[in-house]
């Protein structure tokens, strides 16, 4: 079996975020890392929308990311620390829309190792040096400079190693233009290591160490080291030189401390805490991330606590001596991994879990009523300040980036009866968790819907002048009339536009700079800017059947298949070409390309005829109306659209948008098929046709603008958008009802939208999330969803949600009550009344946990609930809160053979689980009877078990339940579940049970799979085979009777299969003396599974399922990862024969009849060439990355193969030549394999 | 050091030869006389105390031993009794059936042709022991032919299954106490009606009852009841029961 990996949706969890001017213009951009992906975002300061400019998969783990700017430079570089054992400096090239690797310096072995640098990066704020550090011992400093041609140069590394030292954080200290200095949080463990008594551990202190790079002597010295009182978790560099006092802020548990060289005394301020917080008061509070904002006149820091509260930190200084730290509560947002304050007044928050946000900073927190806390305020040791949380005051949410991370589990099923299955995902953590329903399609935001007096046929938008940013009119054509609406504050009908209103319209648009043209059945109306109207009337009894119009040209087809061509001359006059052309069959559709910038005309006209052909006709004055090429079609064409796509997003150095894309002729057929053909811009030849079935209705095509590029809206029974995004063609359905006609639309409120008609309504729509494969509908959940099952009769979901470190609602209410009582009791006699009022106010206040987080109850405190959810409506039908400290771990819905047709829900619950050191007070299996409508749960009984019930699976009318490492068969009893049979020989802890026939496949948490056979006549569960490799299985899926696919927590997916001669008829030892020595080889089973495929995905996969994603598609193995990625592994249908070295005609026919036969061979070679020609960006070897834990076997990386499309054309050609194909053929194959299985 | 044998010590050579021959012969151990265990070892099914051996060689050594040979005599006697009993019953059944099948030989041939033409056993996820039985049904009229183990841990050999019926470990129990050995005998009986040759109403009814009995047996067995030496159903101490469940549930037929 050979598999091909396709990523459907890339990871969305952000591990690092930095900001800077990466394109070298004034615009601020954000670079984020998603683990193995680097992405460049640009927040639009006008609309507040975040646009993704570029996404690159680096096939390595990004461990640190820093923006770097040379002294006096205007452009930021990206410094990346990865697991490649190399430091990489990237430069963003806006003209190519790509990252260029300008330096790659090797310093160590690859992999995330203790002493190989890569974990920490720090740059000198003045842009002279960069330090890259490891977790232990090694630190290297590189001096960066520029050469005569202003190119960035990098020195050889200078060592700043110190053995036996652990590093917690590194920053570059801003010392102005003195020697660059780096501050490290370190801990020296040498003494501890050598102390046999173990007393030294208690006395070891963390130190703050400064390393100075002596630029004169060209070496690094350990300048100064100072032990710290509190254990710090990170450092913030304070602006220095002329901008501020320099030094660092040390964030530690409960305190933030300012430190600097010289006479500067330490300034320490406690971290304020929430007033009346339900959290465990003994828990310390730490800052988890920070952002610095610096202007010429001031600077401040925003620091976020682990509860999500942001504080604005300012320093008060007196003659370069800091005297005070001031903290002021700013706002509360989701807990972030990184925050970026942009110069344009935005705050980008990369959330730890769930969606990411872009806020506008509306106020700088200067509000007087908000109390300010200062280090100068006298406070006793251990005491702290308190503040009151409140809804957002300083921040305004402007954009939200969807993130599925973490995907806890996913099931694919068509529960909504929509033909295409939906992906049901349990996402998120704690109070920010949700159940999301994902459907393939672009999300459509409906801006306006208005009813029209009748059923319109068509709609266009028209600008008044070519320079205008927004459209002026919406023209709606009815059967016998045309309605003109003007776009302004409101949309209202106008009559002074010059358009003829008493006739239906065939087309209308802007002509030249400021004229308008209206084509109607009886003629053409040319409206000049000064409202002069020129009319061209059709001759005799002929009428205009079809027309095609662009900025300067008009072509019409008259009755009798006669083509008439008009072109605008420089004076703005519309002139008819002297000849007319008669076509051989009726004209069904026509299309003109837009006029290329700087040219007079578009050179090609595409005409679709009733004889199932499309012809390209030249409009060049040299051979005007001469046919250039023809393409036969499988069915009659319905619509044509020539667009320029691909590469238009590229921008040259001056910021001018270049158009490097080619022309594509899109042909919509009457049988619902869309063809996309490359139209040669010189000869007009048609080549490289791609086909896609869109729906049951004839396909109509409309040219629209998406992010400044041309795109095609194709309408069949469903609407699709064909667009080019990040060098890849996308054809995505719109998640919206059927539309009939559309045109692009721009107004102040909606700068880039679509106006469309659907029956008798006019709709204004916006498509904002280009590039997204799925649109999602989200339902809020209370705790982290762990697992869910689908009740097959009602299609309802039964979800178990469990959180550690959390309170149940009951405990929360109880604690609140208790706190209120304490409040009253603590008050003196005269304050009693006031205290009672305050307590009442406290009891009444409720802040949504979604934005303010749930209270942390302390370790060993669990809260869970069982919920029945209607996934389509998103409504909760029933929910059962379990008691405090009961944690639900497993769930199943099943019928018992001895209880008739009733459905039961079994929930495995553990009581008082402490994670480390692990201890359990016991567990229960709750048995609930599901009501007839599957909307209520009624508790039947509760069965005690000894350990964690990790997995439950129905089995032959009974149920298999794992209890710790025990596997048991239970039957339904009257008072409890009855244990009938047991196997005690699984190694550690059972995390999953899959059954097929009499076979049971057990996933162990650490020891991969065990194959167990249930022998009914002996009532025994017998292990007959296992795996040879230790895998820390997270999830497994059966592929067939002998084959199982499993994912592990290190991010690998493996397929293992029992050999053909496996015998599951083995018996348990009949002597019954299970002595220690009487086990198989190394305690394993005698028969071993074979490894079929191995692949390192790079992110821990939590769900695997065999599913068909598109109707009529083939089955694939779908996986979802913790970081929010969705991918599939697809099998090659066959593996055969090497491809012929020379292409012969007969061989081509053969290839057509067996298109998949050589796929595997082809892709394997492509992958090989890609590895050599296009090595990963951050220096990690692709093959070794995909073989991180186990050597990659029988899986081809589609992500790498698809980078073919983003390679330079020269390299594309050479790779394609090696494969004996053209680049177009290669990218067609890449597209084909994707569309065959997914989208 | 070389692995070449030095010298021409004839006795050693003979010893080696003997060992080699016994190794080769080890593969000839009939499948019914040994049992592959879940841990990859072998148990001797001939000896009543079921000794367990690590490898095939040691099993072969055991099979040459005195105690085993003594057990083998007993075992053979038992087997012989069993075969005779089966033959007797077949005869009885045959006489009872009269001549419902006008041409038994013809149908037998037809069946064999059908079996021979099958390229592989039709897929059946059920227990394989039973499957092999099904195919073997045709020629198990006279006595149980002995199947040799080709390889110690060979799995279900599909293509051979038709030609060589497998008798697997079938305990030497008369057929009236069918319950004692569940699936094996269950399938054995069940196959008779697949034959299509004996479609007498009374016998069909009998088979249905028998099947129901067997189903009941399996049901009891899998819900934790075991038979004690006296043949009474008692609770397995490792299984759990409802507190009011003192007697095993009765079969529907009885």
Say what the pLDDT of residue B121 is: 61
Instruction: Measure A910 CA to nearest chain B CA, in Å.
Output: 21
B37 contacts in A (CB within 8 Å)?
1066-1069, 1086
**Percent of chain A having pLDDT more than 70?**
95
* pLDDT at residue A1136 is higher than 50: no
Backbone angles phi, psi at B185, to 5 degrees: -70, -30
Mean pLDDT of all residues in chain A?
90
CB < 8 Å to B50, chain A: 1070-1071
Whole-number pLDDT of residue B145: 36
For residue B137 the two structure tokens come to: 């049904």
Do the Cβ atoms of A835 and A843 come closer than 8 Å?
Answer: no
Closest residue of chain A to B42, computed from CA coordinates: A1069
B49 touches chain A (CB under 8 A): yes
Q: Which residue has the tokens 């700068």?
A: A751
Closest partner residue to B240 among A978, A998, A1066, by Cβ? Answer: A978
Beta bridge partners, A332, equal A309
CA dist., res. B117 & res. B115, Å (int)? 5
| Model confidence pLDDT, tens digit, residues B208-233 | 999 999 899 988 988 889 888 888 88
Residue A1006, judged by CB atoms within 10 A of its CB (0-12, 13-18, 19+), counts as middle
pLDDT at A589: 94
Residue A1142 is predicted with a pLDDT of 40
DSSP B37: B
pLDDT (0 to 100) of residue B176: 38
Q: How confident is the model at residue B3 (pLDDT cuts 50, 70, 90)?
A: low
- Pairing between β-strand A273-274 and β-strand A386-387 as defined by DSSP bridges: parallel
Q: What is the pLDDT of residues A590-633, one digit of tens each?
A: 999 888 888 888 989 999 999 999 999 999 888 888 999 999 99
Interface of B with A in 198-217 (CB under 8 A): 217
Judge contact between B90 and B104, C-beta under 8 A. no
pLDDT of residue B30: 81
* Residue A1155 reports pLDDT greater than 60: no
Structural tokens at position A1107: 């599913």
Q: How far is B96 from chain A (nearest CA, A)?
A: 31
What is the gyration radius of the CA atoms in chain B, in angstroms? 23
Question: Which residue blocks in A661-713 are alpha helix, DSSP H?
Answer: none
Q: Do B241 and A973 touch (CB under 8 A)?
A: yes
Report CB contact under 8 Å: B52, A981: no
A455 touches chain B (CB under 8 A): no
Residue B229 DSSP code: T
Closest Cβ opposite residue B127 in set A978, A981, A998: A998
- B138 Cα to chain A: minimum distance (Å): 23
pLDDT per residue as tens digits for the range A1188-1213 = 999 999 999 999 999 998 898 999 99
The residue ranking higher by pLDDT, A1185 or A1148, is: A1185
In tens, the pLDDT along B16-57 reads 888 788 777 766 788 788 888 877 788 888 888 888 888 877
Which tens digits make up the pLDDT trace of A1060-1094?
A: 888 887 776 655 444 444 455 566 787 899 999 99
Residue numbers in B near A1041 (CB within 8 A): 125
* Residue A1236 confidence (pLDDT) above 80: yes
Of A998, A1066, A1081, the CB nearest to B36: A1066
Separation in Å, CA of A975 to nearest CA in chain B? 7
Distance from CA of A899 to the nearest CA of B (A): 14
Least CB-CB distance to A1061: which of B155, B182, B224? B155
Nearest CB neighbour to A975, from listed B125, B239, B243:
B243
Nearest beta carbon to residue A1081 from set B40, B129, B236: B40
- What is the secondary structure of A1027-1051 as a DSSP string? -SS---EEEEEE-SSSEEEEEETTS
- Are A981 and B238 in contact (CB < 8 Å)? yes
The CA distance from A1055 to the nearest CA of chain B, in Å, is: 21
**Two tokens at A288?**
């988890």
Taking residues A127-152, what's their average pLDDT?
94
> What is the Cα A878 distance to its own chain's centre?
32
Share of chain A above pLDDT 90, in %: 68
Interface residue of B222, B223, B248 to substitute, partner A, most A CBs within 10 Å: B222
Residue A1148 pLDDT: 36
Residues on chain B touching A1086 (C-beta within 8 angstroms) = 36-41, 153
- For residue A1098, what are the contacts with CB-CB under 8 A and spacing of at least 6? A35, A36, A59, A61, A1051, A1185, A1188
> What spatial distance separates the first Cα and last Cα of chain B, rounded to whole Å?
74
Q: What is the CA radius of gyration of chain A?
A: 34
| Burial tier of A833 (Cβ tally within 10 Å: 0-12, 13-18, 19+) | exposed
Per-residue pLDDT, A278: 87
Measured in degrees and rounded to the nearest 5, phi and psi for residue B68 equal -65, -40
Question: β-pairing, A29-33 with A37-43?
Answer: antiparallel
Whether pLDDT at B11 is above 90: no
CB pairs under 8 A between A and B: 118
- The DSSP secondary structure of A393-430, one letter per residue, reads SSEEEEEEE----SEEEEEEE-TT--SSPEEEEEE--G
Question: Mind listing the pLDDT tens digit for each residue in B136-171?
Answer: 344 433 333 333 343 333 334 344 333 333 333 333
pLDDT the model gives residue A846: 86
Q: B218 and A1017 in contact by Cβ < 8 A? A: yes
Length of chain A counted residue by residue: 1239
List CB contacts (< 8 A) between A980 and chain B.
222-224, 239-240
| Residue B242 or residue B118, greater confidence | B242
Displacement of CA A82 from its chain's centroid (Å): 21
pTM to 2 decimal places: 0.83
Contact assignment for B39 to A1078 by CB distance below 8 Å: yes
Residue whose entry in the numeric block shows the structure tokens 């007079």 = A600
CA distance A966 to A968: 6
Q: What pLDDT score does A647 carry?
A: 57
pLDDT in tens, A22-39: 999 989 999 999 999 999
How many angstroms separate the CA of residue A1017 from the nearest CA in chain B? Answer: 6
Q: A1090 at the B interface (CB within 8 A)?
A: no
Residues in Cβ contact with B229 at an 8 Å cutoff, skipping those fewer than 6 apart: none
Indicate the SS3 state at residue A815. helix
Hey, what are A1030's tokens? Answer: 């230790």
Pairing of strands A574-576, A581-582: unpaired
The closest of A2, A49, A220, A1 to A130, measured between CA atoms, is A220
Q: Is A1038 within 8 Å of chain B by CB?
A: no
pLDDT tens readout for residues A660-718: 578 999 999 999 999 999 998 888 899 888 888 888 899 999 999 888 888 999 999 88
Task: Name A1226's Cβ contacts closer than 8 Å, sequence gap at least 6.
Answer: A1166, A1204, A1212, A1215, A1216, A1219
Q: Give φ, ψ of A600 to 5 degrees.
A: -80, -35
Q: At residue A1135, does pLDDT exceed 90?
A: no
Q: Kindly write down the DSSP assignment for every residue of B148-207, as one continuous string.
A: BPSSTT----HHHHHHS----S-----GGGGGGGHHHHHHHHHHHHHTSS---HHHHHHH
Question: Tens of pLDDT along A985-1040?
Answer: 898 999 999 999 999 999 999 999 999 999 888 898 989 899 999 999 999 999 99
- Measured between CB atoms, which of A974, A980, A1023 is closest to B224? A980
Tokens of A621: 């004055």
Chain B residue nearest residue A1010, CA to CA? B38
Helix (H), strand (E), coil (C) string for A1101-1115: EEEEEEECCCCCCCC
- Judge contact between A807 and A861, C-beta under 8 A: yes
What values do phi and psi take at B43, rounded to 5? -115, 145
Please give the Cα distance from A1148 to A756 (Å, whole number).
43
Which of A131-140, A352-361, A1158-1167 is predicted with the least confidence, judged by mean pLDDT? A1158-1167
User: B218 touching A, CB under 8 A?
Assistant: yes
* ipTM entry: 0.71
Instruction: Using the predicted structure, report yes or no on whether residue B180 has a pLDDT greater than 50.
Output: no
CB-CB contact of A405 with A354 (8 Å): yes
């Amino acid at each position: 079996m050979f598999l091909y990996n396709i990523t459907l949706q890339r990871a969305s969890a952000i591990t690092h975020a930095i900001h800077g001017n990466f394109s070298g213009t004034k615009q601020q951009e954000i670079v984020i890392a998603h683990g193995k992906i680097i992405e460049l975002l640009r927040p639009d300061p006008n609309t507040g929308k975040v646009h993704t400019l570029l996404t690159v998969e680096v096939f390595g783990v990004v461990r640190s990311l820093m923006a770097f700017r040379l002294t006096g430079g205007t452009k930021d570089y990206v410094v990346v620390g990865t697991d490649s054992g190399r430091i990489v400096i990237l430069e963003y090239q806006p003209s190519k829309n790509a990252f260029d690797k300008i330096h790659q310096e090797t310093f160590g072995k690859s992999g995330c190792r203790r002493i190989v640098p890569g974990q920490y990066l720090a740059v000198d704020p003045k842009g002279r040096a960069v330090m890259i550090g490891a977790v232990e011992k090694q630190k290297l400093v590189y001096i960066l400079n520029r050469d005569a041609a202003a190119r960035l140069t990098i020195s050889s590394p200078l060592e700043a190693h110190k053995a036996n030292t652990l590093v917690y954080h590194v920053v570059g200290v801003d010392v102005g233009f003195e020697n660059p200095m780096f501050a490290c949080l370190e801990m020296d463990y040498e003494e501890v290591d050598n102390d046999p008594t173990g007393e030294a551990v208690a006395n070891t202190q963390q130190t703050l160490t400064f390393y100075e790079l002596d630029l004169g002597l060209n070496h690094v010295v350990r300048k100064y080291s100072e032990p710290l009182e509190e254990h710090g978790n990170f450092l913030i560099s304070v602006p220095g030189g002329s901008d501020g006092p320099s030094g660092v802020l040390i964030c530690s548990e409960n305190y933030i401390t300012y430190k600097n060289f010289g006479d500067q005394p330490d300034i320490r301020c406690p971290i304020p805490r929430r007033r009346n917080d339900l959290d465990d008061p003994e828990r310390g509070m730490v800052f988890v991330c920070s952002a610095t904002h610096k202007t010429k006149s001031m600077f401040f820091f925003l620091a976020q606590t682990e509860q999500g509260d942001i504080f604005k930190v300012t320093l008060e200084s007196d003659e370069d001596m800091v005297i005070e730290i001031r903290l002021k509560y700013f706002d509360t947002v989701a807990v972030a991994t990184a925050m970026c304050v942009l110069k344009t007044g935005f705050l980008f928050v990369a959330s730890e879990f769930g969606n990411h946000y872009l806020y506008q900073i509306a106020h700088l927190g200067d509000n007087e009523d908000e109390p300010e806390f200062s280090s100068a305020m006298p406070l006793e040791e251990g005491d702290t300040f308190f503040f009151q949380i409140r809804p957002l005051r300083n921040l305004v949410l402007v954009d939200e980036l969807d993130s599925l991370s973490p995907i806890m589990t996913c099931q694919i099923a068509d529960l909504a009866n929509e033909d295409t299955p939906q992906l049901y995902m349990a996402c998120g953590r704690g109070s920010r968790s949700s159940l999301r329903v994902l459907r393939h399609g672009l999300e459509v935001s409906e801006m306006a819907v208005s009813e029209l007096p009748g059923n319109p046929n068509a709609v266009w938008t028209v600008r008044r002048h070519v320079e205008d940013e927004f459209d002026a009119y919406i023209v709606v054509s009815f059967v016998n009339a045309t309605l003109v609406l003007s776009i302004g504050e409101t949309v209202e009908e106008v009559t002074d536009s010059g358009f003829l209103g008493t006739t239906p319209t065939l087309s209308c648009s802007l002509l030249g700079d400021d004229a308008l043209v209206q084509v109607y059945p009886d003629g053409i109306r040319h409206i000049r800017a000064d409202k002069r109207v020129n009319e061209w009337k059709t001759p005799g009894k002929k009428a205009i059947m079809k027309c095609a119009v662009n900025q300067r040209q008009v072509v019409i087809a008259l009755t009798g298949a006669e083509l008439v061509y008009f072109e605008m001359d420089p004076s703005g006059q519309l002139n008819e070409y002297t000849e007319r052309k008669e076509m051989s069959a009726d004209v069904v559709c026509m299309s003109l390309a837009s006029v290329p910038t700087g040219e007079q005309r578009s050179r090609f006209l595409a005409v679709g005829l009733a004889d199932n052909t499309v012809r390209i006709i030249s409009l060049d004055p040299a051979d005007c109306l001469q046919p250039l090429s023809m393409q036969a079609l499988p069915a009659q064409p319905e619509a044509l659209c020539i667009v320029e796509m691909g590469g238009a997003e590229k921008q040259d150095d001056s910021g001018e948008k270049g158009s490097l894309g080619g022309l594509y002729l899109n042909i919509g057929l009457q049988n619902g098929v869309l063809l996309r053909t490359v139209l040669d811009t010189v000869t007009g030849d048609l080549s490289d046709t791609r086909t896609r079935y869109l729906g049951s209705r004839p396909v109509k095509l409309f040219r629209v603008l998406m992010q400044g590029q041309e795109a095609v809206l194709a309408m069949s029974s469903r609407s699709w958008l064909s667009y080019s995004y990040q060098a890849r063609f996308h054809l995505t359905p719109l998640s919206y009802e059927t539309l009939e006609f559309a045109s692009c639309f721009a107004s102040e409120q909606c700068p880039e939208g679509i106006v469309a008609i659907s029956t008798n309504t006019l709709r204004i729509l916006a498509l904002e999330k280009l590039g997204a494969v799925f649109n999602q509908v989200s339902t809020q959940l209370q705790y982290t969803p762990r697992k869910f099952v689908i009740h097959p009769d009602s299609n309802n979901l039964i979800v178990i949600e469990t959180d550690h470190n959390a309170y149940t609602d009951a405990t929360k209410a109880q604690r609140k009550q208790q706190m209120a009582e304490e409040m009253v009791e603590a008050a003196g006699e005269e304050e009693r009344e006031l205290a009672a009022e305050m307590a009442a106010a406290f009891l009444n206040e409720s802040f949504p946990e979604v934005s303010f987080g749930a209270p942390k109850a302390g370790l060993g405190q669990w809260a869970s609930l069982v919920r029945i959810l209607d996934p389509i409506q998103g409504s909760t039908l029933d929910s059962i809160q379990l008691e405090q400290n009961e944690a639900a771990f497993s769930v199943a819905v099943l019928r018992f053979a001895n209880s008739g047709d009733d459905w039961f829900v079994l929930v495995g619950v553990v009581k008082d689980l402490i994670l480390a050191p692990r201890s359990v007070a016991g567990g229960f299996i709750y048995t609930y009877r599901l009501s007839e409508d599957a909307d209520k749960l009624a508790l039947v009984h509760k069965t005690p078990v000894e350990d964690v019930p990790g997995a439950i699976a129905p089995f032959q009318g009974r149920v298999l339940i794992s209890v710790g490492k025990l596997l048991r068969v239970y039957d339904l009893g009257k008072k409890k579940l009855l244990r009938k049979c047991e196997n005690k020989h699984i190694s550690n802890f059972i995390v999953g049970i899959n059954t097929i026939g009499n076979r049971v496949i057990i996933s162990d948490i650490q020891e991969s799979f065990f194959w167990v056979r249930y022998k009914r006549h002996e009532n025994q569960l017998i292990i007959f085979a296992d795996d040879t490799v230790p895998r820390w299985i997270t999830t497994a899926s059966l592929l067939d009777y002998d084959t199982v696919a499993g994912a592990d927590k290190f991010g690998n997916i493996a397929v293992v299969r029992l050999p053909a001669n496996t015998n599951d008829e083995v018996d348990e030892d009949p002597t019954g003396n299970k002595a220690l020595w009487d086990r198989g080889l190394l305690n394993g089973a005698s028969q071993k599974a074979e490894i079929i495929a191995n692949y390192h995905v790079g992110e821990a996969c939590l769900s695997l399922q065999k599913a068909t994603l598109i109707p009529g598609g083939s089955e694939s193995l779908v996986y979802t990862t913790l970081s929010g990625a969705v991918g599939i592994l697809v099998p090659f249908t066959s593996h055969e024969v090497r491809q012929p070295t020379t292409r012969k005609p007969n061989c081509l026919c053969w290839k057509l009849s067996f298109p998949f036969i050589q796929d595997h061979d082809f892709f394997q070679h492509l992958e090989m060439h890609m590895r050599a020609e296009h090595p990963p960006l951050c220096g990690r070897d692709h093959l070794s990355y995909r073989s991180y834990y186990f050597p990659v076997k029988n899986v081809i990386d589609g992500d790498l193969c698809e980078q073919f499309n983003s390679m330079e054309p020269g390299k594309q050609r050479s790779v394609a030549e090696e494969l004996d194909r053209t680049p177009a053929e290669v990218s067609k194959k890449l597209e084909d394999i994707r569309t065959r299985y997914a989208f | 050091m070389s692995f070449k044998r030095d010298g021409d010590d004839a006795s050693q050579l003979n010893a080696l030869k003997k060992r080699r021959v016994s190794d080769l012969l080890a593969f000839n151990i009939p499948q019914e006389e040994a049992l592959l265990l879940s841990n990859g070892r072998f148990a001797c099914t001939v000896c009543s105390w079921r000794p367990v051996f690590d490898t095939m060689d040691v099993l072969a050594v055991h099979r040459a031993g005195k105690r085993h040979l003594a057990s083998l005599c007993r075992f053979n006697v038992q087997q012989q009794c069993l075969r005779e009993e089966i033959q007797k019953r077949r005869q009885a059944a045959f006489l009872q059936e009269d001549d419902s099948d006008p041409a038994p030989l013809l149908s037998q041939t037809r069946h064999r042709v059908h079996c021979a033409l099958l390229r592989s056993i039709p897929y059946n996820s059920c227990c394989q022991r039973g499957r092999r039985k099904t195919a073997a049904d045709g020629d198990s009229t006279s006595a149980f032919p002995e199947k040799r183990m080709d390889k110690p841990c060979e799995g279900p050999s599909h293509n051979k299954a038709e030609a060589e019926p497998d008798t697997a470990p079938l305990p030497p129990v008369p057929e009236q106490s069918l319950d004692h050995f569940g699936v094996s005998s269950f399938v054995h009986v069940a196959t008779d009606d697949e034959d299509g040759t004996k479609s007498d109403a009374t016998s069909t009814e009998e088979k249905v009852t028998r099947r129901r009995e067997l189903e009941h047996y399996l049901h009891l067995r899998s819900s934790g009841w075991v038979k004690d030496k006296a043949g009474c159903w008692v609770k397995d101490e490792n299984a759990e029961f409802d507190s009011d469940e003192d007697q095993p549930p009765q079969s529907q037929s009885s």
